Each structure stands twice: as C-alpha cells, then as structure tokens.
Amino acid sequence: MRLQRKILLNRSKEEYFSMPEDIFPYLTALGILISRKTQSTPEHYHALYLPTDANIQDSNFQLAIMETVTWHWHSELEFCYIVKGSCRFYIPNQVFTLHAGEAIFINSNCLHMVENTNPEEGTVYHTQLFKKEILIGPLQSVFEEKYISPILHNPQLQAVFFGRGKADIAQHMEAAFLTYLTKSTGYELLVRNYLSEFWLYLFENHLNPISPCKQGDEAINERIKSMIRYIEHNYMDKLTVADIGESANVSERECLRCFKRHLKTSPFTYLTEFRLHKAAELLVETSQNILSISESCGFSSSSYFGKVFFKHMGTTPSDYRKNR
C-alpha cells in the first residue's frame, strides 16, 4: 500500500503509476478529498471504507488523501465510484457533479480535474485504473482493433457519467474493486471479466456518444496540454500570457480563449493557483523559510505571496504551516 498526497507527474506532465505492466496492469485506490486541517490517519480511513479482509499490502493499491486533484491526464483508463459525499469532475467543456452511489469513466489521455463540494466534510471514492493491455491480449488482436481502439481513439468520448439510473453498472465495477482487494483464488481472472463486461457495455452504448466535444477539439486539447506542461515546468519564472501561448504556437488571444472556453479559467489564474499549490506543498513538506518558498514559486515578493495566499487559502503561509 502506498500513501499519496499529491498527483505524481512525469516529464510530460502526465500522471504516472508504478504498476507492473507485464504482470497485472491494474491499480486500485481509496481516495479521500478533504481539507488538510481535517484529515485523519490512514488507519482511520482503512477501518471506515475498506473491507476488513482487504489485502492492501502490494504496490497496486494506494490511499490518496488530497484537498483537490489538479488538472492532469494519463494513458490508463479510469473508473471512479463515489462512496460518500459529492465532488465535481471537470473535463474540457463539461462538469459532472457526482454524489454517493454515482460513478464516472474517464477515457485515456483525457484532461480532467476533481474538486470536493464540501472540503470540511470530505468525499470518499474508489478508483480503478487499468491499461488497455489487460483486455486486448496479443497486439493487433481482434479485441484491440474491433473493440478497444474505437473507444480509446474516439475524441468525442472523453467521459461517461453513471447516475442513479445506472447504479447496476456502478455496482458491477465496484465488485471488480472489491474482488481485487480480497484477492481470492482467481481474482485476476474475475477482475478482467468484470472489466471486459464493462467494456462491452461502453462499446454497445457509448461508441458514438452525444458529447460537447466536436471535431477538431482533440487538437485544441493537445494545445492546452502543451500550455499546461509549459506552466508547470516554468512556474518559478516570470511568465506572460504570450509566453504561455507561444509554447503551443498560438497567439495570446487564442491562449486566453482556450483556457476560458475549455478550462473555465484564465492562464494567469491557472498559473497563480499552481504556484500556490507548490508553495503549500513546500510549507508542509520542507523547513524552507517563507521568503525562499515565495521566490522559488515565482512570486515577486514575500508580501505579495502572503496576500495572494491568504486570499485563496483563507490563512497566512505561517499559520498554514503551523496548523498542518
């Protein structure tokens, strides 16, 4: 079992997972979205939200305790089931509000973020992440070409929401999650069967979904990913909107339009929030002084850093460190 307190990104700014690809490319997570000041111990969450016979000692299970899940993407397929509370899943052009008993499927390489709707009370969720290899068998098999690729490479199918009217699908996938945790005889075969049946449902019902994603949006998503990569590689430097746009070979105006239309924010707001996110990590995880942290995170002065931090976080940097 691994404890995760932030999104882990590779050099391309994709989220990565250390799962043994050639053995069983499947990962489970118990996720807790809650404000840092009200977070409890891992043991507390294990006792409340996992079966008593759960076997969580391998690296393919993780406990993720975070305040929010920032914009990111990954090649793995994702299925998330809400156990308690509610949260908002964002993808470009669309927001899904999920409550307990509801679920969402996120397609490969789809930009997404998650925020809790009640940070004090928290949201609890079960996540399953799996690579296509668990379903396709040999490369270029009939499974890959006929069933997997049409969904993976469909730019209109970014996410599928499973509300209360689709509780049977959500429970079907929740059975896969619990089967993996208990690890009874043949659990790998059972999990793969659950995933295959779920994939058949997607193929039969969502191959050509009604979606706000239009032809050409795939290229726009790649532009946004390029700009996000640039921000997250260079947040410590003085950046302009023109710099961010240039990283994706677009004008300042187009850069503003992409962020506003697809991520519902501005490049500068995204940059500021990312800097604050990094600063909060350094306040908790290091003993660096506040001046050093403000400079390393790209703020022009410690006084400006303190003002912006208080506006967004509701507390001063020093109190944030003291109370976490």
Report whether pLDDT(35) > 80: yes
**14-29: average pLDDT:** 70
pLDDT one-digit tens code per residue, 206-234: 876 444 444 456 788 889 999 999 999 99
**CATH code for the domain of 119:** 2.60.120.280
- End-of-domain residue from the set 154, 184, 205: 205
- Tell me the pairing of strands 77-84 and 123-130: antiparallel
**How many domains does the chain fold into?**
2
pLDDT band of residue 10 (cuts 50, 70, 90) is low
* Choice among 2-11, 131-140, 171-180 with the minimum mean pLDDT: 2-11
Residues 190 and 224 in one domain: no
Question: Is residue 210 one of the residues assigned to a domain?
Answer: no
2-27 average pLDDT score: 62
Tell me the H-state helices in 21-138.
42-49, 133-136
Q: 36 and 103 share a domain?
A: yes
SS percent in the chain: helix, strand, coil, step 5: 45, 20, 35
The whole-number pLDDT of residue 60 equals 83
User: Domain boundary residue among 180, 205, 230?
Assistant: 205
Q: How confident is the model at residue 323 (pLDDT cuts 50, 70, 90)?
A: confident
pLDDT at 126 over 90: yes
Mark whether 237 and 183 lie in a shared domain: no
Tell whether 211 is covered by a domain.
no
pLDDT higher than 80, residue 7: no
Write out pLDDT tens, residues 52-97: 888 777 668 889 999 889 899 999 999 999 999 999 999 988 899 9
- Residues 78 and 255: their CA atoms lie apart, in Å, by 29
Helices (H), the chain: 42-49, 133-136, 142, 149-152, 167-182, 187-205, 217-234, 241-246, 252-258, 267-285, 290-296, 302-313, 317-322
The whole domain housing 14 covers 2-205
The pTM (predicted TM-score) of the whole model is 0.83
Tokens representing 192 are 């793969």
pLDDT at 8: 55
